[in-house]
Amino acid sequence: MWRADDVTTNAGGGEDRPGPANDHILVFTRVVAAVVVGILFTAWFALYLHPGETDHRFAWTISSRMTAMLMGAGYGSAILFYTRVLFGRRWHRVALGFIPTTVFTWLLLAATVLHWGKFRHGSVPFMLWVWIYAITPILVPAVWLMNRPRDPGSPESEDAVLARPIRAVLVAVGVLLLLVAAALFLRPSALIPAWPWPLTPLTARAVAGFVALPAVAWLAIAADSRWSAGRVAVQTVALGVILLLGAVARAWSEFDHSNPLSYLYVAGLAGTLVGLAALYAIEEQAVAHARRR
C-alpha cells in the first residue's frame, strides 16, 4: 500500500511510485501492443474500407457489407486503445481494456473452430487469422497478468470516482449487451431471422464477440470505479460507435426497413454516443474540480 508522502513527480508530469506497484507499463506489453496495432490496421483496412472485397482480402467471405464494417469498426477503435498502451505512461489507465479483449479473443477462437469449413483455407488472410486467434487468447490475458501487479489500485491524485448511479447504469447496459452476445453466440439461428441485417451462423458468432467487447468493458469500469482507469476504454468505445454510425450510413440499403430493430439499432448507437459524451463531460469536470482543490 503506497502513502501520499511516498509519491514523487516524474519528468513526464505523472506520479512515480516506489516498489512493484509503480504503475509502469512493461516493455513486453508495449512490444505486444505495437504488433497488435499493425494487425488491427490491416483488419480495419480490409473490412471497413473495403467491405465488399472480403472474398480476397479477408479470412472468409462476408456477404454482408454491414457485418464486415461492424467488425472493421471494432478493429479500428482498438487501434486507439493499443496505441495508448504503446505510448502510455501508466498501466492502470489501460489495464481494463485487456479484460474485454480477452473475452473477445476467446469467442472468436471458438467461432473459428465451430465454423472451420467456412474459411478460405490456404490464403494469407486465413493463415494470419489462425495464428492471431491461436495466440491472442493466451497472450492477452498473460500480458494483463504480468503487468497487473504494477497497478497501485488507488485513484490518481487528480482523479474522479464514478458515482454509484453511473456504475449501476454501466452494469445494467453491460449485462444487457452480454445477454445479447450470449444469445447470438449460443443460439445464432434463433436471432438471425430478427436481426436488422443479414447474418449467417458464423457472422452472428463473430458479431457476438464485438458486442461482448463493450459489455465486458462497462462491467470492468463499474467494478474498478476510477475514472482514470476507465477513460481510455470510454474513448475507445466512443470511436467504435462513431465508426459504426458511418457503417450504417454506408450500408443502410442492407437493413430491413420494415424491421423496428433496424431503427432501434441506429437509435441505440446514437443514444450510446450521447451517453458517453455526457459521462465524459461529467467525469472530466470532476477531475478539473479535483485539480482546483
Cβ contact 80:239 at 8 Å? yes
3 state SS of 20: coil
9: DSSP letter: E
Q: How far apart are CA 233 and CA 246, in angstroms?
A: 20
226: DSSP letter: B
Question: pLDDT > 90: what percent of the chain?
Answer: 90
pLDDT, tens digit (0-9, with 9 covering 90-100), for 184-201: 999 999 999 999 999 999
Q: Give the structural domain span for 224.
A: 4-292
Check whether 4 has a pLDDT greater than 70. no
pLDDT, tens digit (0-9, with 9 covering 90-100), for 109-138: 999 999 999 999 999 999 999 999 999 999
Check whether 205 has a pLDDT greater than 50. yes
Question: CB pairs under 8 A, 24+ apart, for 47-52?
Answer: 47/71, 47/72, 47/75, 48/72, 48/73, 48/75, 48/76, 48/243, 48/247, 51/250, 51/251
Residue 152 burial class via C-beta count within 10 angstroms: exposed 0-12, middle 13-18, buried 19 and up: buried
Domain count for the chain, please give it: 1
Cβ contact 111:209 at 8 Å? yes
The strand pairing partners of 16, in sequence order, are: 8
pLDDT, tens digit (0-9, with 9 covering 90-100), for 242-287: 999 999 999 999 999 999 999 999 999 999 999 999 999 999 999 9
